[in-house]
């Protein structure tokens, strides 16, 4: 699948396109198929996201989304060396694939 990601303009937080808005959770990401460029241009112009781009990802059997590249997996989770600063403490369910 093709999913969209970027950083929040104000906070810099990593976000994922869920079809209507930008979510902090990669599992909310939706397949945008052919529409990537169109959504990216629109959302960036609306300043709802900063420097967004499209990436390859797969949806696992349990419904979790796994970005193809390690860089985006680390973006999705947070720094692997500071688990306390990742999404895990608030959302233990969020990400359980191995980096």
Measured distance CA(78)–CA(40) in Å, rounded:
23
Choose one: 7-15, 22-30, 33-41, 59-67; the region binding another protein (CB under 8 A): 7-15
90 alpha-carbon distance from chain centroid? 17
48 alpha-carbon distance from chain centroid? 14
Figure out which of the listed residues 14, 32, 36, 55 binds another protein, where binding follows CB under 8 A.
Answer: 14
19: tokens are: 């079809």
Q: Tell the smallest beta-carbon distance from residue 88 to another protein (Å).
A: 14
Choose one: 15-23, 30-38, 80-88, 89-97; the region binding another protein (CB under 8 A): 80-88
Closer Cβ to another protein, 65 or 75, answer by number: 75
**Could you say whether residue 44 binds another protein (CB under 8 A)?**
yes
**Could you say whether residue 23 binds another protein (CB under 8 A)?**
no
Backbone angles phi, psi at 41, to 5 degrees: -65, -45
**Could you say whether residue 51 binds another protein (CB under 8 A)?**
yes
**Could you say whether residue 41 binds another protein (CB under 8 A)?**
no
64 close to 72: Cβ distance less than 8 angstroms: no
Question: Which residues are CB-contacts of 84 (< 8 A; sequence separation ≥ 6)?
Answer: none
């Amino acid at each position: 699948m093709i999913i969209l990601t970027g950083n929040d303009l104000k906070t810099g937080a990593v976000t994922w396109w869920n079809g209507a808005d930008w979510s902090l959770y990669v599992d909310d990401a939706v397949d945008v198929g052919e529409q990537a460029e169109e959504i990216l241009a629109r959302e960036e112009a609306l300043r709802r996201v900063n420097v967004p781009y499209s990436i390859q990802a797969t949806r696992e059997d349990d419904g979790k989304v796994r970005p193809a590249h390690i860089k985006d997996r680390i973006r999705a989770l947070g720094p692997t060396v500071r688990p306390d600063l990742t999404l895990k403490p608030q959302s233990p369910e969020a990400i359980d694939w191995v980096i």
